[in-house]
Amino acid sequence: MDKKTAEKLYDTCYMQVYSYVMTLAKDQHKAEEITQETFFKAMTTKQTFRGESECYSWLCAIAKNLFIDSTRKSSRYQDEPDETLADIGTDIEQSISDSDSSFRIHMLLHEMEDPYKEVFELRVFGELSFSQIAAIFRKTESWARVTYHRAKLKLQERMNSNEI
């Protein structure tokens, strides 16, 4: 990849790739590091972009692989959760452990429309990965992630309005 193409790719896609990595890593420093590694690998690897997909998709695939590798390496030395468990430690899930709050949250969940309700329950209570949820609905893993995120936001809004 020539220097001009590399600079254009970096300028065009940096923030998108960084945002994607932030959703995986949930840590600013780790996301910055993985994003930089992604562009370095894209520019220095012998495998070049074949044009079969968008540049952004290609870069995100590299970033995801780097994130998974990083998580595996760090989990060997520390007992950190892997990618499939990365979202389980949020505020909503912690509130569920409190029995009084748990009942109220279940009432709010009961009123939530599908597929948000089912995706949230499969992720939190069923402890399924996004790829497993996607397979159940016959959708993409990205769809499962987005639907889960939207369900969390809807539940959080309802919790805030009901002061749970």
pLDDT 10s digit of each residue in the chain, 164 long? 677 887 888 888 889 988 888 888 888 899 999 999 988 888 887 556 555 557 878 888 888 889 988 888 877 665 444 444 444 445 555 554 556 666 777 788 888 888 888 888 888 877 788 888 888 888 899 999 999 999 888 888 888 887 65
* Residue listed under structure tokens 């990205």: 142
Angle at 98 between CA 97 and CA 103, to 5 degrees: 100
- The domains found in the chain, sorted by start residue, are 3-79 (1.10.1740.10), 87-161 (1.10.10.10)
Cα→Cα distances 79→41, 65, 162, Å: 27, 20, 36
Q: How far apart are CA 45 and CA 13, in angstroms?
A: 18
Residue type, 49: F
> Long-range contact list for 86-89, CB < 8 A, 24+ apart?
86/24, 86/26, 87/123, 87/148, 88/123, 88/124, 88/127
Total-model pTM: 0.45
